[in-house]
Amino acid sequence: MLTPAVPDPDLKYLRRTSAGAEYVRQITAVASDRRARSAFRELVLRVAPPGAALFDFGAGPGIDARFFAERGFSIEAYDVDPRMREYFADYCRDLMEAGRVMLDCSGYREFVTRAATAEGRVDLVISNFAPLNLVDDLHELFAKFHTLTRANGRVLASVLNPFFIGEMHSRWWWQAAPRLLREGQFFMPGPQAPHYKRLPGYFRAVTAPYFRLQRVFRGLSSRYLFLLFEKRDGGIAS
């Protein structure tokens, strides 16, 4: 979980969503979610070199951060929700005290606009369970990722599958499909979890010139797609 799909997070919105221990119970209760998390973790272990520096964006309660830190990776993490950060700090306390995990507790605008104190220190940015679908301006965010990562840095993100077969029977999906195909995305408003549905091609377009979409790991019946981006040289915004 990261932020509602607006440029500046609305903490009133965040209070309407689950977080912390409640979120952990929900995200670990469903077998398909457990399989999705396991598949993402396995892919990270394939992509990241041993001992790599990872940046966990939308880190939520820290269960992925802890998993990777215990396997020899160094972890920097960010989440905008204070309730998630509180749980994260408790859940990963020993690793944070040992200097193996660090948590950025800044606001979102500060995070994306703050000048980096040490550029190019991250090998792989990871983002599990679709935080990117909650972000309004992906071009701005990937500019930040470009600053954070080394010359050969990558981004591996779990995003919502816009063609998830479990949703394609719904009337709202067919009403939104023309916009999805025309514009590459559509916005799903709602009181609980407003978010975007986006095509891989949309991610490809808006993340340039900072990153190139290298590979899409997909499955029609899966709720999530895994997108692997590789860093481009230069990264000067057009």
Residue-wise burial string across 141-152, b where 16 or more C-beta atoms lie within 10 A, e elsewhere: bbbbbbbbbeee
Predicted confidence pLDDT, tens digits, the chain (238 residues): 444 444 344 444 444 455 667 777 777 778 888 999 999 999 999 999 999 999 999 999 999 999 999 999 999 999 999 999 999 999 999 999 999 999 999 999 999 998 766 568 999 999 999 999 999 999 999 999 999 999 999 999 999 999 999 999 999 999 999 999 999 999 998 656 789 999 999 999 999 999 999 999 986 668 999 999 999 875 544 3
Query: In angstroms, rounded to a whole number, what is the distance separating the alpha carbons of residues 176 and 154?
Result: 31
Of residues 136, 5, 1, 153, the one with CA closest to residue 77? 1
- Separation in Å, CA 82 to CA 1, 25, 59, 215: 11, 18, 12, 33
Which domains are assigned to the chain? 11-231 (3.40.50.150)
Of residues 185, 192, 2, the one with CA closest to residue 79? 2
- Angle between helical axes of 20-29 and 82-91 (0-180°, round to 10): 80
Q: What is the pTM of this model?
A: 0.89
